[in-house]
Amino acid sequence: MTAEIITIGDEILVGQTVDTNSAWIAKQLKLIGVPVRQILSIADTKEAITSALDAAIKSTDLVLVTGGLGPTKDDITKQVLVEYFNDELVLHQDISDEIEAYFKSINRPFLEVNRQQAMLPKNAAVVRNDLGTASGMWFKKNGKDVISMPGVPYEMKGLMKKVLPEFQAKYKLGDFYHRTVLFQGVPESILADEVSDLENEIRSKGISMAYLPSTGQVKVRLTATLERQEEIARYIEQIVSRFPGAFFGYEEDKLEKVIGKLLLEKNKTLGTVESCTGGAIAARIVSIPGSSKYFKGSIVSYAYEIKHSLVDVPNEDLWEYGAVSKEVIEKMAVGGINKLDVDYCIATSGIAGPDGGTEMKPVGTVWIAIATREKVYSKKFNFKQNRSRNIESTVVYGLNYLRRVLIGIED
């Protein structure tokens, strides 16, 4: 059995909205062993919706549709689906009451457009939306399932969590097993070159292997049928053993999550002193639930005077070496240890661009330091990218630099 995802909305076709729903849905389907044949984004027109449904029903078993269920007049999905499946819209009083109660609870007026959201198909199964006003609708035709959900990501996710167990019960298929390993700081082509012997062996055994690069990181994913789990585990181990410093985790691991675990294990605290990253490293650390157990705070010392007044970097160093220098970055990191009273501190200072570069320190020049209570490590990077990528690279390299210090592979 296979699935297809259809997202409806002119906002996607004109590029105003990035379709993040499809990736999330695909990931959930993958976990229960349902391969996605394709993902299609189409316009808010009857013709586009109808012809996409015709094609999808012909070639897949399960069609997941998102979007076009809002209360505004440009959303026509519900009407088109009801006609397509020869159903009809009737008022679902229970849902109308629920929506009205919800609006009361958040002190917002219950409008006629909101009541329209309770006009739902008579025959299709209606899936309650606990996080919004647009219900899910589950249509069936020729043994195929078509499920329509709103496009608002968290509402769609809430509905998927309700319908997924039903898919699992209905379709019992040979599960796929996939394992992903994550590396930071080694380019895709070098990684591929250094495992090419292994890759040939892996592929010759019918296990698929894929590389997924992102800023400063590469994911390697192996996929095969469930019973080959142990074989995959052995290959993963061999790949990891070739890049001990770059390897940082599996699957959905994030550097900030891995760091959090290490700090909790060691019962140590963390702070940051950020210049070019402007708080982005701290924000990443804080994105992890429970980070208050190890993260104490940061000083974003963007201006020279803050580096001096709050982090105690001597003015002489700032003027002699400049803010983007080994001398200053190490003093920022050590200053963070003292001022924030933490066990580890990441410090960043660089020229993010587009302005501020010089011949000696072009845009993309970044210093990162990691201080402990005893020692300070520092390194210079040349990212040579645009502003947002220079900042993102600094965040990722800074986090992995700390991780390497935490596991004792920096000296």
Instruction: State the number of binding residues for a second copy (CB under 8 A).
Output: 110
Six-digit token string for 252: 């959905």
- Asked if 197 is part of the footprint of a second copy (rule: CB under 8 A), the reply reads no
Are the C-beta atoms of residues 371 and 331 closer than 8 Å to each other? no
Of 254, 268, 308, 387, the one binding a second copy (CB under 8 A) is 387
What gap in Å lies between CA 193 and CA 191, rounded to an integer? 5
Q: Which of residues 216-235 bind a second copy (CB under 8 A)?
A: 219, 221
What gap in Å lies between CA 265 and CA 254, rounded to an integer? 17
What gap in Å lies between CA 105 and CA 362, rounded to an integer? 55
> Which of these segments, 34-42, 82-90, 138-146, 224-232, binds a second copy (CB under 8 A)?
34-42
106/360 with CB nearer a second copy: 106
User: Which amino acid is residue 377, in one-letter code?
Assistant: Y
- Asked if 212 is part of the footprint of a second copy (rule: CB under 8 A), the reply reads yes
Are the C-beta atoms of residues 39 and 52 closer than 8 Å to each other? no
- Asked if 123 is part of the footprint of a second copy (rule: CB under 8 A), the reply reads no
Are the C-beta atoms of residues 368 and 401 closer than 8 Å to each other? yes
Of 177, 248, 295, 367, the one binding a second copy (CB under 8 A) is 295
Q: Please state the closest distance from residue 260 (CB atom) to a second copy, in A.
A: 13
Six-digit token string for 255: 């550097």
- Asked if 43 is part of the footprint of a second copy (rule: CB under 8 A), the reply reads yes
23/407 with CB nearer a second copy: 23
> Which of these segments, 162-170, 180-188, 235-243, 325-333, binds a second copy (CB under 8 A)?
180-188
> Which of these segments, 79-87, 181-189, 231-239, 314-322, binds a second copy (CB under 8 A)?
181-189
SS3 state of residue 408: coil
- Asked if 72 is part of the footprint of a second copy (rule: CB under 8 A), the reply reads yes
Question: From start to end of 101-207, where are the E strands?
Answer: 119-121, 125-127, 136-141, 144-149, 176-184
136/150 with CB nearer a second copy: 150
Q: Please state the closest distance from residue 250 (CB atom) to a second copy, in A.
A: 13
Find the largest Cα–Cα distance for the chain: 79
> Which of these segments, 87-95, 224-232, 280-288, 312-320, binds a second copy (CB under 8 A)?
280-288
Of 97, 104, 108, 173, the one binding a second copy (CB under 8 A) is 108
Binding mask 339-378 for a second copy (x = CB under 8 A): xxx----------xxxxx----------------------
Six-digit token string for 35: 């391969």
Please report the DSSP string for 238-267 in residue order. Answer: HHHHT-TTTEEEETT--HHHHHHHHHHHHT
CA 72 to chain centre: 29
- Asked if 130 is part of the footprint of a second copy (rule: CB under 8 A), the reply reads no
Of 17, 50, 225, 372, the one binding a second copy (CB under 8 A) is 17
> Which of these segments, 135-143, 182-190, 228-236, 325-333, binds a second copy (CB under 8 A)?
182-190
171/278 with CB nearer a second copy: 278
Six-digit token string for 305: 């005077």
Are the C-beta atoms of residues 301 and 328 closer than 8 Å to each other? no
- Asked if 32 is part of the footprint of a second copy (rule: CB under 8 A), the reply reads no
- Asked if 126 is part of the footprint of a second copy (rule: CB under 8 A), the reply reads no
What gap in Å lies between CA 151 and CA 20, rounded to an integer? 10
13/125 with CB nearer a second copy: 13
37/326 with CB nearer a second copy: 37
Are the C-beta atoms of residues 160 and 129 closer than 8 Å to each other? no
Q: Which of residues 232-261 bind a second copy (CB under 8 A)?
A: none
206 — alpha (psi -120 to 50), left (phi > 0) or beta? left
Of 211, 250, 321, 377, the one binding a second copy (CB under 8 A) is 211
What gap in Å lies between CA 285 and CA 273, rounded to an integer? 13
Q: Which one, of 212, 268, 256, 207, lies nearest residue 236 by Cα?
A: 207
